[in-house]
Amino acid sequence: MFSKIDQNSINNIIVFRLNKVGDMICTLPFLKTLRNHFEKAKITVFTEQPAQEIMQVLDYINGFIIYKNNNKLFLNKYLESYRLINNYKKKSSIKKFDIAFGVKGGFSSSLALLTLISGASLRAGYVNKNHILRHCYNLPVASVDFAHTHQVETCLNILSVIGIKDFAKDISIEIPADFTNKVHEFIALNKISSGKPVILFNISNNREKSSWDIDKFIELGRILIEKHAFTCIISSTDKDEEQGHTLCRTIGTNAFYYKTKKLMDFAAIASLSSFVVAGDGGASHISAAAGAPVISIFGETNPAIWKPYGTQNIALQSKDKNAKSITLEDVLNSILSNLALLNKKKSGKKNMGNI
C-alpha cells in the first residue's frame, strides 16, 4: 500500500530518529531523498544528543530538536518531547507538521507515539500488527526482511509508502573547514611524511564483545609501519586517551595520537586517512560517511544490518561473534588486499598520503 503525496501540499516535515551516531548516519540517505522530493518544504529532525553534531553540518535540513535522554519516566519522556516540539514550532513559526516519519529498521512504539504527539496530519512508519500503538500511523509501512537488510535500505523503504522509489544512497557528510585545518596543523607539527598511506585506529568501543585486543592493534601498527611504510594514527574517547598514548609509544616511530574531542574531529582525521580500523559502532559509520575505507571489527551485532555503508567497506566477524577472536591476519589481509583503493582516492579528494 502506498499513498502518492502531493508535493505542493507538504510544507513542514518532521523526522523522528532516535539512538546514536551510527543510526543517524544510516538515516542520511532518507533525509537527502526527502529533500530531493520536497525541495520547498521545511524538514525538521527530532533526535537525541549523540547525533547533534551531525545535525549541525547538514545543509539539507531546516532545523532539529534535541531530546536529552536523562532516563526520564515513561510519562515524563513524552511530556518533555511534547514540550520540545511545541516550543520549536513556536520558535520556527510552524503552525503544524504536515507529515511525520518514525524512522527505524522495524517497529518502534516510541517513534509511533512521537509521530502522534507531533500533531502531524500524516504519520508513516513500520508497524507491528500486534501492538496497539500501530494505530498511531495512518500511513503504515509493510515490513521487509529486517534481519538481512541493511539499515540504510530499511529506512529508505519507509518512503515507498508515499510513492517515492528513486532513493539517494549517499551517506557522505561535509566536514567543516576548521576541523580539517586542525588535522593539517597536526600533520605539519608532527612532520608526518607525505606519500605514505595512513592507517587510523579507533581503539574505543562501549561494547566489550566489539573491542579488539590492544596487543593486536600494537602488532598490526608495527607491521604496517615497518613492512608497508604506513603512518599510524590512534584515536579514542577521552576515557581511553591514556591508553591511546601508551599504544603510540609501544608501537614506536611513525605512530601518533590524535585527540578527537568532538565528533567532527574524528570525522576530519578519518577523511584524510587511507584506512580506518574500528569496532562496530559509531566510529565505523562516521568514518564511512567521511569517505574513508573502513575495516570494521564486529562482535555480536549483525553486519548484514549494520556494516558501514558502501562497497569499499569491510566487515569482519568471527563464528563466536566476539571481536577478540578476529585474528591479526584477518585485519592485515583486509588492508593489504585493498590498497588499490588508495589510487581511487588520489583521483578524488586528498588524503595524508598525497597532500
The pLDDT score that the predictor gives to residue 341 is: 58
| 279 pLDDT higher than 50 | yes
Is the pLDDT at 10 greater than 90? The verdict is: yes
Kind and range of the H or E element at 125? strand 122-126
pLDDT band at 339 (very low <50, low <70, confident <90, very high): confident
- Is residue 99 predicted with pLDDT exceeding 80? yes
Average pLDDT in the chain = 92
State the average pLDDT over residues 56-65.
Answer: 97
Per DSSP, the three-state class of 103 is: coil
pLDDT for residue 338 = 86
The model's pLDDT over 129-184, given as tens digits with 9 standing for 90+, comes to: 999 999 999 999 999 999 999 999 999 999 999 999 999 999 999 999 999 999 99
In this structure, what C-alpha cell is assigned to residue 201?
Answer: 585506529
What's the pLDDT score for residue 69? Answer: 77
For residue 311, what pLDDT is reported? 92
Distance CA 96, CA 98 (A): 6
User: Mind listing the pLDDT tens digit for each residue in 201-231?
Assistant: 999 988 888 899 999 999 999 999 999 999 9
Position 342 scores a pLDDT of: 59
Q: Is the model's pLDDT at 355 over the cut of 50?
A: no
Radius of gyration in angstroms for the set of CA atoms belonging to the chain, rounded to a whole number: 21
Asked if pLDDT for residue 194 goes beyond 90, the answer is no
Q: What is the pTM of this model?
A: 0.93
What's the pLDDT at 72? 59
Reported confidence tier of residue 30, pLDDT bands at 50, 70, 90: very high
pLDDT digits (tens, 9 = 90+) for 285-334: 999 999 999 999 999 999 999 999 999 999 999 999 999 999 999 999 99
% of the chain at pLDDT higher than 70: 93
Of 280, 285, 284, the residue nearest 302 (C-alpha)? 280
Instruction: For residue 70, name the pLDDT band (cuts at 50, 70, 90).
Output: confident
Place of cell 570494521: 296
Q: Does the pLDDT at position 77 exceed 60?
A: yes
Neighbouring C-beta atoms of residue 79, cutoff 10 Å: 13
Could you tell me the pLDDT band of residue 64, with boundaries at 50, 70 and 90? Answer: very high
Least confident of 49-53, 78-82, 336-340: 336-340
Residues 187-214 have a mean pLDDT of 90
Q: So what's the pLDDT on residue 354? A: 41
State the Cα–Cα distance between residues 259 and 241, nearest whole angstrom: 8
User: How far, CA to CA in Å, does 19 sit from each of 27, 49, 117, 123?
Assistant: 11, 9, 19, 20
